[in-house]
A and B are shown apart, each in its own frame.
Chain A
């Protein structure tokens, strides 16, 4: 039965994609920024959301190029079907819900565009149709998604041939969402993944750990299209900034991250373009003081220090495009609050229960893509996370646990993309794990192997 509905699902998605082929190639309806500039999506994007050099300048210019629209809205939606290699745990329970049949996964509404030549940005609101609530039921849920609002200025060079200083401020709610090279976590590959998909237990804080939970205020400067520097501060999005995390569960212990004070972020990048090539070499860092339990803000805080290097290369011509991004994040976890409390036998609420006073966690990500005529694309990605063995943090447990107490997880992603028209993309994505939560075979202590978590994901993404 499941096989028939999967085949039917695949057929359904391919029919829809073919319908896109029959649509007039240069239809009028395009997303908000395309409407504002009158340009096609390919002007700014290699393939949404990866940015071209012009797309980077558009974003750094505060999204202010073009003519302000009366209705600065855009919508996007995704539907797909997920298959997990072994979707039953050791007790026969389903691991990932709603697999094997086509599911409408999410829809977003964007308010996006320029206010004037100096102010612009976007606010994204997402309805997650496959949200799993605390009781384990799939109940649709909506909330704010990535948001980036900017004020910008420009100083031309003396010869009046170019902007020499492009500078601005950004208010956003996800560290690195403001970055313009798709090598940092927020807009890094993969750009979409199986809903409720199985993922390793450990990830560095900057790798999505604070998304839509913080208010970030940053100041940046881009000099001569060559040197980029940014300094930002992140605070928990409460009080006047609480709209930046609207929809998050702030009442349940462990529902959101809660930070103390203002937490610094620094980003430096060297950018160079020549012929059809562009290259970026850079680094970024974030240090946060985090309450072990977000519902207990009176306690001491743990400290996480993330230092990272990254690079991007793009070769953009007609008809061939080749791109690659790479990043390496090193996190120092200082459990200066959680460790003493755990050692004394009384952990702080729902906070971490480390066996060590200090741990490190390191994540390496690489991705390479090829696109032909902005239409047919393939991507290969490699990810590897390694860290200190800590049985207190990574305990045995079916599917999500670790028998060895190690967070080490490695794997790769292979993705094929087809975009017959600019506002529709069909994607086939395969995620494979060679190591999961510290092991290859029986990694969780309940007999599960790393490859049992492999996922095949067919997805349709539309944007207007």
Chain B
């Protein structure tokens, strides 16, 4: 009896592993033949129109694919570019894509204006206590490397980061926790943060 359960369990595990393997192959094919067309080789995009996906934590990526499907990411680009793409992605492929991009090497940072970078670093590491804005590093990691459902921000395009901050502020992108934290950020503070984050590798 125990042997049959063991054999059954092994068979199920093998089937699951095989299915995961083919989902990984499918995701790799989709990533290199479709996703990279905009998100760049290995998820390192050249144009700030498209976010870098390289080294993003897998849970965050999967959550975004689901957000595009559910239309909780309401910024125009989400609809114009990604809503249709998610029809190519079922749940297993989404998980596999998360794994694919999570293991890609991130791009080196792009240096920016020293003063703005310093100002952005200050806000990122310490927040703005007098206005109740928490330090971003608390969730996004000391080096903005991300953590589970909190995205990697290091090396992301500054223009893209500013666009997302504004989309979250205006609730076009539905992110209640983020909205509560950044709702009072000024455009200048967003620019400084973005300059700092773009400079990180």
Binding site for B on A (CB under 8 A): 26, 34, 37-40, 42-43, 53-54, 57-58, 61, 65-67, 117, 154, 156-157, 159-163, 273-276, 316-318
Contact = CB atoms under 8 A, between A and B. Distances in A.
| Residue of A37, A117, A161 with highest tally of chain B CB at under 10 A | A161
B34 interface: yes
Contact of B47 (A57, A58, A157, A276): A276
Given A154-B33, A161-B32, 10 more contacts: A38-B85, A38-B86, A40-B79, A43-B80, A67-B88, A161-B36, A161-B104, A162-B40, A275-B48, A317-B48
B33 A39 contact: no
A161 B41 contact: yes
Interface residues of B, number: 28
Contact of B28 (A61, A160, A274, A317): A160
A318 B163 contact: yes
Interface of B: 28, 32-34, 36-38, 40-43, 46-49, 77, 79-81, 83-88, 104, 159, 163
A39 B43 CA distance: 19
A66 B88 contact: yes
A117 B49 CA distance: 26
B36 A40 contact: no
Nearest to B42: A161
A43 B46 contact: no
Contact of B38 (A54, A67, A162): A54
A275 B160 CA distance: 12
A318 B49 contact: yes
Given A65-B34, A154-B33, A39 B46 contact: no
B37 A66 contact: no
B41 to A, nearest CB: 4
B47 A316 contact: yes
26 contacts: A37-B85, A38-B86, A39-B80, A39-B81, A39-B85, A40-B79, A40-B81, A43-B80, A61-B33, A61-B37, A65-B33, A65-B34, A65-B37, A66-B88, A67-B87, A67-B88, A117-B33, A160-B32, A161-B43, A162-B41, A273-B46, A275-B47, A275-B48, A316-B47, A317-B48, A318-B159
B26 to A, nearest CB: 12
| Residue of A54, A162, A163, A274 with highest tally of chain B CB at under 10 A | A162
| Residue of A34, A53, A154 with highest tally of chain B CB at under 10 A | A53
A57 B42 CA distance: 16
B48 to A, nearest CB: 6
Contacts of A26: 79
Contacts of B83: 38-39
Contacts of B28: 160
Contact of A317 (B34, B49, B81): B49
Given A37-B85, A276-B49, A318-B49, A58 B79 contact: no
A285 to B, nearest CB: 29
Nearest to A64: B33
B48 A38 contact: no
Nearest to A42: B80
A24 to B, nearest CB: 13
Contacts of B159: 317-318
For the complex of A and B, list the 5 residue pairs with the smallest distance between their C-beta atoms, beginning with the closest: A38-B84, A161-B42, A40-B80, A162-B41, A57-B37
A316 B47 CA distance: 8
